[in-house]
Structure formats: structure tokens, C-alpha cells
Structure 1
Amino acid sequence: MDKAISFSINRPVSSRTQQEKNEQEEMLTFDNIKYDNREYIRFDVFLNVDNNVNANELDKAEFAGSYTSLPHVHRVGKNDHTATVTFQLAITELLEDIGLEDEETIAVTLVPKKGGEGISIE
């Protein structure tokens, strides 16, 4: 991920009742994030109504969270330094705040801040 990327996702359920929201938080999940764990990495996540977002003009976007990993080495001589993680963000309250709780599709923008060239997300 060497530059900001935007994509649309379909939400599992839109227009949930308050009771449903209280019982289960809606999660935005990124599976199989891979990176070199010897490097410092960080990327920010934004939710946006507009699918044609410009990474330098995120005025219509709402910050959802960040993923950060500090560099570390576990064992001397170990050749595989690739970390594979799952990252989740709770987004129920954010969707309510920006008026997207009734939308079936939302746009997500990932903006690399540090070490983005070494990150891959499936």
C-alpha cells in the first residue's frame, strides 16, 4: 500500500434498531494484513460518503481509526519477519454521527502514514 486507496463495502445490515446496536457493535474488519514486523508502520482509516475521495482532500471523510505497529525482532536468525494480523474497528457510533447508519454501502479510505510500501491487505 504505497498510496491512499478507496473502496466500497456492503454493510451486513442497514437501519438497525437501537436495541440491535446495543447488543452488537458493527465492526469494520481487515483480514490478512501483512507487513515486515521489523519496520514501523501506520495507516489511517476513513469512512466517506463519496467513493471518489482524494487522499489529500479528506474534508468529506470521517476518521475511523489507525493501525500502528512498532518494529521488533523476536529471534536472532529467524528469516521470516512477516506479521499477519486482523484489524477491527467499531463503527456503529461513527456511522450514526455522520448519518450513514441507513446506507447499504459505505466507502472506506486507507491512507498510509509510515511504511506503507511494505503493507498488503487482502
Structure 2
Amino acid sequence: EKSEKDEVLVIEGIELDKRYWVHFNVLVNVVDDGSDVCPGNTEFVGTFTTVPHGHNHRGKTSLRVVITEVLKELGIEDDESVIVRLDPKVGGDKVTIGGMKIELQPKGR
């Protein structure tokens, strides 16, 4: 089943104050704080960024990132669990995360 589907990391319930800039990197299989991981590293899977806007102060959203190839490159595609680290760069104290999960979805969707 996994060969016909993509593994998607879903970060749910990203709640933030839209008056502030928020930026964090999403890393997989990093055991330290991740501050030295950058876009050229296999463990770097994405970024979440918002810029200040709007009159409604609170907002809620989610982030979905396909991680199938990253898991293969790291040799952890068959592991029971994966370490996901959010590395806040700006506004980390202005955001809360509701949860994270990995879903299977049809390839190319």
C-alpha cells in the first residue's frame, strides 16, 4: 500500500497571532536542537512562514509536507516512529501547535 501512496507530515492546529511574523523550519530525524540544519540537509523538510497582516488577531491553519523521499534517503521509511522537530526562527512564542501526524495519501494528490 505504501508504494502507491505518499507519506505526508501534517502539522495541525497551528494557532498564531496574525499581528506578528512567525517563521519555523520543519526537520525530521534530528536529535539535537536542529539550529545547524538548513535547506541543503536531507533532514530539512519545509518551512512555515507568515507575515503580519489582518485585523483579526488570532488565526488557525495547518501545514502538509510530503516526506516520502526524505524518509527513504534517511533510511527510516520502515521505522515505527519518526522524530519531528520544529525549529523556531521568528515569533516562536507567538504560535501553538495542536498536533502532528503522518498520513498516507495517493501519490500526486
Same fold (TM over 0.5): yes
Q: 1:49 to 1:120 in 2, by over 3 A?
A: closer
Match of 2:46? 65
Is 1:27–2:3 an aligned residue pair?
no
Runs of 4+ in 1 over 4 A off after TM superposition: none
Extract unaligned runs of 5+ from structure 1. 1-15, 75-79
- Structure number, greater radius of gyration: 1
Contact 2:42 2:74 in 1 (8 A): no
Between the aligned partners of 2:53 and 2:35, the Cα distance in structure 1 is 31
Is 1:97–2:76 an aligned residue pair?
no
TM-score (norm 2): 0.76
TM-score (norm 1): 0.69
| Structure number having the greater strand percentage | 2
CA RMSD in angstroms, aligned pairs only: 2.2
Q: Shift in Å at residue 97 of structure 1?
A: 1.1
Q: How many pairs were matched up?
A: 96
**Percentage of matched positions with identical amino acids:** 35
